[in-house]
Structure 1
């Protein structure tokens, strides 16, 4: 299929988003932007959050991970990622029954207001700043990877420079979130999640049909290729099952329950009971969607084997390389899905290319538009204190909010271009891993507030502890293999980071005053 025709479908997709944004943003105000007037439908929020949780990187990386091989002659990773998904379920229980009741009881617009009320401004600003840093880096890294796919397969063929590709995509996101904010993205996320899941299902059904396999036969074929391994029993490994399950639970607590972007949508629901329904429904559906991604990953490798793909005993940017005998093309796991769907083997119908592109950008935008909106909300409320500014009227506040929204879009643009200059998938992966470092202090701050009744001085030392903890974690991760008998620190770095922060806060805390 021609790049021009694919571009037409992408433009049509944006026009639909603009129509939804125009309809939902009518008569909107700052409360609409920040918390959707606390009138969002819990079912829409639950469904839309699937798209937010499963970014465009997940859309290509989770299927690609199934056939990854850590080293020459080793076993394929299989569906080990499902260990983390099991942990997600445990984390969502904590969010539903510990964090959400707290947020609703305090009637929060920004969840970091909890830190202000519990410990004062230094804890409050520290928590908000770590969220802003983490979401900016994470969101722009994800945006870069997906925009790069769109650029390689569509826009570069039309001689459009990369920076224009980035500017156009960011402009589209800016325009449809500019007025409505949360009120709009609750609906656009629902639309995008629907299209993403439809694309996932269609691609799965097509490959099953093409290979003349039932689901049961496909699983058996995957098993024969060692693609169905779930649990890693090696306690020294980064993917040891207890590490992955416990780490997955804490990742969910930190990156959903302590994340303004994710919680902003939850607290936009009218009642606590409905918000809890949202989280629990979303968590169950998310498990099945991840299973479908992993099944698709196995099918893609069976499809690749069918056309003569073979594993090569070499690595590129730390990722195993597969070669297709048909044309001698080398690809890594992350490139498998887009390469096959967009014509590497010239065996899939053109309709699959269209469905893949629409599904890919549908997976991208819920995480990108939500991040931009949440960062705007957090900066306006937590850093600028906009809601407490009685000297400004609604119109003036709206003008400031729009200026922040535009400024963050420009920052996104600059960060994506920086990633383009780095131009290395392995470096991007490391940047994404920073989530374990930036969310750790947030985990420690909230845990200290919820689990203890001790007080903290309203002092810069809180920020200092939050900065020192990730540094200690980095040193530990760097030297763990040498000092801990080969033990590799993996996903649990988030928990260790939170623990360091907790202990640091404990050291400077005092017992509460008693009457």
Structure 2
């Protein structure tokens, strides 16, 4: 790494918290801290949503997907767009009508505090596992860079540095700081990826594009594979991707909180639908990088390139092939993706802790000033928890890494199913919903740990996009059957419907 690259990385690390604090302004209330007083432009929320769901593993792994296979990954993005459109017109109006700062406030109003707390705790555990592991995964390429510079830095030091920078602007600026920094950070890593494409295009041999077509690297649709076990089969990717997006952007506080920062429900709808379009093109950019890398390296295997992990491919190219300055921008982009994820998690975790759990367990009605104070305190607490959890790993080969990264698929079905149960099954009570929720988690765990399917003599697990549809079905079936015990609609349903007014 050259002096220019190091200077760019240093400027990014120092400038990010300063920029976040300057852009966010002073936080005067808990509503300001949680949802930016609902004054954030919809286009900024769009980019924040995309940046939040883009982790370091997206930047590093998506090119590898195309390098080892093709661009059928884009089928998932088609499903994501469909799912977000449903969220826009089905779930978001409910949240705005209720004036909620947490997605789980809807469950509390529809069923009661018990299910609201259950859903919130599930969210907290899911985010800790998924994003704590992502934080560790970010340290892997960063340590690779530092090792190349001759600096002996441990994983936990890298993890602590990333979390420290993220927690500064999250603590002082709340959701507005997170959103505006997300916008800048997304610009950095997308700019870096586009620059990599330009550099690659100038170094590839004549006829490289035709070679990619001949090798099937630019194949986008997959209609012939097994829809049960292959996550890239067309039906699996589109249907499963749509349900996954409905869960991630409609029932996960991490995304919902950003959407609730818009001025109106119409702006929020534009933000979530536009984010699906942006994600499609973002995936396309990183997949094109991977396909071009395949041509650049002559189709060599990961072992032939001397790499121990497939996800080191893009980082290897950045370090060894890019000119001074551009390598620094791309490393800053990797850090940006990580900080976007961790800062968003910290803000949403503190919001859910205070809005969904704190008053319930302390049995105290908090003033607005106390809520703001508690939100900041819990931002720091969750940062420490993240660093401690991520630092437990010492190698990228740890099996729990894969579990942590995919665990959202196992819990999203129960979360989304609970929302649908509340809207579709009028007779369902809180106990019915809690039992259905727990049963769904158990069924998902059963499939994760013990169910495989034999395909051409090989034992394969259920493709991950099917976990959310499976969970929704189980929740609706169990909750629906339990609701048959009651002869009349839940009184909370009747009261909620009377209170709702068009937004």
Matches of 1:425 and 1:84, distance apart in 2: 27
Counterpart in the other structure of 1:67: 67
Matches of 2:361 and 2:13, distance apart in 1: 32
After superposition, the C-alpha distances for 1:237-295 in whole angstroms (9 at most, x for unaligned) are 41321111111101101112111111111111011111111122222122111111111
Counterpart in the other structure of 1:291: 284
Q: Does 1:189 align with 2:182?
A: yes
Aligned residue among 407, 414, 417 for 2:388: 414
Q: Does 1:512 align with 2:488?
A: yes
Counterpart in the other structure of 2:427: 454
Matches of 1:130 and 1:450, distance apart in 2: 20
Counterpart in the other structure of 2:371: 397
**1:483 CA drift (Å):** 13
**1:487 CA drift (Å):** 7.4
**1:426 CA drift (Å):** 4.8
RMSD after superposition: 2.6
Q: What SS does the corresponding residue of 1:384 show, helix, strand or coil?
A: helix
Matches of 1:164 and 1:370, distance apart in 2: 21
Task: Verify the 8 A CA contact 1:130 1:439 in the aligned structure 2.
Answer: no
**1:122 CA drift (Å):** 1.9
Counterpart in the other structure of 1:23: 22
Q: What SS does the corresponding residue of 1:481 show, helix, strand or coil?
A: strand
Task: Verify the 8 A CA contact 2:5 2:326 in the aligned structure 1.
Answer: no
Counterpart in the other structure of 1:302: 295
- Structure 1, unpaired ranges of 5+: 69-76, 312-320
Counterpart in the other structure of 1:139: 131
Of residues 440-449 and 486-495 in structure 1, the stretch that sits farther from structure 2 once superposed is 486-495
After superposition, the C-alpha distances for 1:79-122 in whole angstroms (9 at most, x for unaligned) are 11111111111111101111111111222111101111111122
Aligned residue among 341, 345, 354 for 2:318: 341
Change (3 A) 1:488 1:167: closer
Task: Verify the 8 A CA contact 1:123 1:462 in the aligned structure 2.
Answer: no
**1:390 CA drift (Å):** 6.9
**1:229 CA drift (Å):** 2.4
Q: What SS does the corresponding residue of 1:407 show, helix, strand or coil?
A: helix
Task: Verify the 8 A CA contact 1:247 1:492 in the aligned structure 2.
Answer: yes
Matches of 2:362 and 2:41, distance apart in 1: 28
Task: Verify the 8 A CA contact 1:63 1:298 in the aligned structure 2.
Answer: yes
**1:461 CA drift (Å):** 3.5
Task: Verify the 8 A CA contact 2:5 2:329 in the aligned structure 1.
Answer: no
Matches of 1:360 and 1:218, distance apart in 2: 27
Of residues 144-153 and 382-391 in structure 1, the stretch that sits farther from structure 2 once superposed is 382-391
Counterpart in the other structure of 1:170: 163
Q: What SS does the corresponding residue of 2:451 show, helix, strand or coil?
A: helix
Matches of 2:186 and 2:154, distance apart in 1: 29
Matches of 2:458 and 2:133, distance apart in 1: 34
Counterpart in the other structure of 1:256: 249
**1:300 CA drift (Å):** 1.1
Counterpart in the other structure of 1:73: none
Q: What SS does the corresponding residue of 2:22 show, helix, strand or coil?
A: helix
Change (3 A) 1:240 1:253: same
Q: Does 1:440 align with 2:401?
A: no
Matches of 1:33 and 1:218, distance apart in 2: 50
Counterpart in the other structure of 1:235: 226
**1:128 CA drift (Å):** 1.1
Matches of 1:256 and 1:437, distance apart in 2: 15
Q: Does 1:111 align with 2:103?
A: yes
Matches of 1:78 and 1:310, distance apart in 2: 15
Task: Verify the 8 A CA contact 1:100 1:276 in the aligned structure 2.
Answer: yes
Matches of 1:183 and 1:154, distance apart in 2: 32
Matches of 1:358 and 1:274, distance apart in 2: 31
Please report the TM-score for the alignment, with normalisation by the length of structure 2: 0.89
Write the mapping of 1:359-378 to structure 2, written as runs, cut at 5 A: 359-378=333-352
Task: Verify the 8 A CA contact 2:417 2:472 in the aligned structure 1.
Answer: yes
**1:27 CA drift (Å):** 2.3
Counterpart in the other structure of 1:318: none
**1:486 CA drift (Å):** 6.9
